[in-house]
Chains A and B, each alone.
Chain A
Amino acid sequence: MPATTMSKAEREQGHARVFDLSEHSLRELNQALHKLAPGSNETAWEVLNPKGSHSVAVGVDQPVTIDVRGSVGYYCAGMNDGAAITVHGSAGPGVGENMMSGSIVIKGDASQYAGATGRGGLLVIEGNASSRCGISMKGIDIVVHGNIGHMSAFMAQSGNLVVLGDAGDALGDSIYEARLFVRGKVESLGADCIAKEMRPEHIELLQGLLDKAGVTGVKASEFKRYGSARKLYNFNIDNADAY
């Protein structure tokens, strides 16, 4: 994925604070982001030359925009609480892990466990996500334009996972109350995950998510809904084989 960069003039016009990771350390970047006080005027940030670095822009808790120009490694934008972070490239494992609020957009692909344990906010992956997408999600909304890998939404507790492409094996294994919407085919469903009826309130909810994620040309009615059969919430010896 080519890293697009703005000209100097464009940056100055936009008042973005530019952080070049080939000149400054990752720690300097993250400490500068953590020092942001509420109401700071430094609302636009741009990160250059990430080159697969780990933990880029983790733990940001102010409503700033951050554009990362290039691909990142592990744990990008983890614990995000309010920032709008865009990665103009692909992301390694654990992008947006435990997000609280705000938004993360990945222009390329995301590796395993994207959005894991996320409690809020919106994670958009414009390419594919690999295995364990949305594992143990607890309120986050995840929209994937492409496909997702196996064991996605494992033990997902709440929130919504929307997939425009296909889902891999064992989707929603041991799921609680998260809602899964898949437009393509599902390789297989995990234990206690079943297809469910798309009622008007689900169409409305899904359309809202598609709009928020900037998805056009796709109708909510093209998706199938999956969720919990609620048979494994409490241990019952008769269900021992299903665990």
Chain B
Amino acid sequence: MCGIVGLFLKDKALEPKLGAMLSEMLVSLSDRGPDSAGIAIYGAASGNEAKITVQSPKPERDFRGLDIELAKAIGAPVGVAVKSTHAVIRTTPDKVDAAREALQSLRPDIRIMGAGEAVEIYKEVGLPEAVVDRFDVRSMTGTHGIGHTRMATESAVTRMGAHPFSTGADQCLVHNGSLSNHNNVRRELIRDGMTFETENDTEVAAAYLSNRMAHGKNLGEALEGTLSDLDGFFTFVVGTKNGFGVVRDPIACKPAVMAETDQYVAFGSEYRALTKLPGIDNARVWEPEPATVYFWEH
């Protein structure tokens, strides 16, 4: 099964409530997937700061003194904000690659959840309620976000197998479904220089989109490509620095409902996820068409 949600705000007045709204949407779909949950929130990008969200199995050990050691290793200022098992590392945009490399030797057990100017990604094993509480997602502000609650089918129930998957700067993806040609596509992407953290099918979809966009496609064109190049069942919801997209495979057996008002565009696996959004009773509510790309950009 799995449950997925997405929320793209048009009205700036709602931005302080993004985390609360998205959390509410995700928690309402808890019975679609109790294994793990995750959320990606896009805050305002300042242009002179990059964020790397990292996770550690031993946060007390790994995050202690990390700011000072990392700053020394990359020769740039570093801030570390710890949230439970995750931490958001802030540095200058030109030092992201150096920081990734330095982290490998300074803290070999740390895993990178995602990086970019706007995105922060939090994911853990457990129910959505526990995950959003653990990371205090309800208090987060932002422009758009996506979330996922997982019922695992294609790979193990682990933190690294939880969604969203991020395979490029400020890019991430959540997926309901299962891909059948992910091993082939993964091999092709590896030949083209992409790297993978897991055996998970969804990570392949995320990497496919990152790869297409690295080759100059926009989000819409990259999503269009999934229809011919990925085989299997999928409803994808995708976030980029300033955009939000949705696509379903041509069979479209994985459920999807969308709602749009002057204030937001929202996606839910089911209508239940949308019932508490402001103005939902008068929103345009529809089921996205199969094999049709929808995307919005700020």
> Would you give 13 A-B contacts (Cβ < 8 Å), ordered by A?
A1-B281, A52-B273, A53-B272, A71-B271, A73-B271, A73-B272, A109-B287, A111-B255, A130-B252, A130-B287, A131-B253, A149-B252, A150-B250
Q: Which of B271, B289, B290 contacts A52 (CB 8 A)?
A: B271
With both beta carbons as reference points, the residue of chain B lying nearest to A127 in the complex is identified as: B286
Q: Which of B252, B273, B282, B285 contacts A131 (CB 8 A)?
A: B252
CB of A3 within 8 A of chain B? yes
A149–B286 Cα distance when bound, in Å, is 13
The answer on a CB contact under 8 Å between A52 and B275 is: yes
For the complex formed, measure the closest distance between the CB of B21 and the CB atoms of chain A, giving whole angstroms.
16
The size bracket of the interface on A is: 10 to 19
Contact with A along B78-94 (1 / 0, CB 8 A): 00000000000000000
Q: Which residues of B contact A109 (CB under 8 A)?
A: 285-287
List B residues 228-279 near A (Cβ within 8 Å).
250-253, 255, 257, 270-275
Contact with B along A87-111 (1 / 0, CB 8 A): 0001011000000000000000101
Q: Which residues of A contact B275 (CB under 8 A)?
A: 51-52
Q: Which of A71, A90, A112 contacts B255 (CB 8 A)?
A: A112
CB of A39 within 8 A of chain B? no
The answer on a CB contact under 8 Å between B252 and A90 is: no
Known: A71-B271, A111-B255. A90 touches B290 (CB 8 A): no
A51–B268 Cα distance when bound, in Å, is 13
For the complex formed, measure the closest distance between the CB of A148 and the CB atoms of chain B, giving whole angstroms.
12
Q: Which of B251, B272, B285, B287 contacts A51 (CB 8 A)?
A: B272
The answer on a CB contact under 8 Å between A2 and B281 is: yes
The answer on a CB contact under 8 Å between B255 and A52 is: no
The answer on a CB contact under 8 Å between B255 and A3 is: no
For the complex formed, measure the closest distance between the CB of A129 and the CB atoms of chain B, giving whole angstroms.
10
With both beta carbons as reference points, the residue of chain A lying nearest to B288 in the complex is identified as: A130
The answer on a CB contact under 8 Å between A1 and B255 is: no
A112–B270 Cα distance when bound, in Å, is 12
The answer on a CB contact under 8 Å between B270 and A150 is: no
- Residues of B at the A interface (CB closer than 8 Å) are 250-253, 255, 257, 270-275, 281-282, 285-287, 289-290
The answer on a CB contact under 8 Å between A149 and B290 is: yes
Q: Which residues of B contact A150 (CB under 8 A)?
A: 250, 252, 290
Q: Which residues of B contact A111 (CB under 8 A)?
A: 255, 257, 287
Known: A92-B255, A111-B287, A131-B252. A52 touches B272 (CB 8 A): yes
For the complex formed, measure the closest distance between the CB of B167 and the CB atoms of chain A, giving whole angstroms.
30
The answer on a CB contact under 8 Å between B282 and A73 is: no
Q: Which residues of A contact B250 (CB under 8 A)?
A: 150
A52–B255 Cα distance when bound, in Å, is 13
Q: 13 extra interchain contacts, Cβ-Cβ under 8 A, other than A52-B274, A90-B271?
A: A2-B281, A3-B281, A51-B272, A51-B275, A52-B271, A71-B271, A74-B270, A92-B271, A93-B255, A130-B252, A130-B287, A131-B251, A131-B252
A2–B257 Cα distance when bound, in Å, is 16
The answer on a CB contact under 8 Å between B272 and A90 is: no
Q: Which residues of A contact B285 (CB under 8 A)?
A: 1, 71, 90, 109
The answer on a CB contact under 8 Å between B255 and A131 is: no
A71–B34 Cα distance when bound, in Å, is 25
Q: Which residues of B contact A53 (CB under 8 A)?
A: 272
A135–B257 Cα distance when bound, in Å, is 21
Q: Which residues of B contact A73 (CB under 8 A)?
A: 270-272
A1–B281 Cα distance when bound, in Å, is 5
A165–B253 Cα distance when bound, in Å, is 22
Contact with B along A77-91 (1 / 0, CB 8 A): 000000000000010
The answer on a CB contact under 8 Å between B271 and A131 is: no
Q: Which residues of A contact B253 (CB under 8 A)?
A: 112, 131
Known: A112-B255, A150-B290. A2 touches B282 (CB 8 A): yes
With both beta carbons as reference points, the residue of chain B lying nearest to A51 in the complex is identified as: B275
Q: Which residues of A contact B255 (CB under 8 A)?
A: 92-93, 111-112
**Most chain B beta-carbon contacts within 10 A, residue among A52, A90, A92:** A52
Q: Which residues of A contact B286 (CB under 8 A)?
A: 109
For the complex formed, measure the closest distance between the CB of B287 and the CB atoms of chain A, giving whole angstroms.
5
Q: Which residues of B contact A93 (CB under 8 A)?
A: 255
Contact with B along A192-208 (1 / 0, CB 8 A): 00000000000000000
A65–B44 Cα distance when bound, in Å, is 52
Q: Which residues of B contact A1 (CB under 8 A)?
A: 281, 285
List A residues 30-48 near B (Cβ within 8 Å).
none
The answer on a CB contact under 8 Å between A52 and B270 is: yes
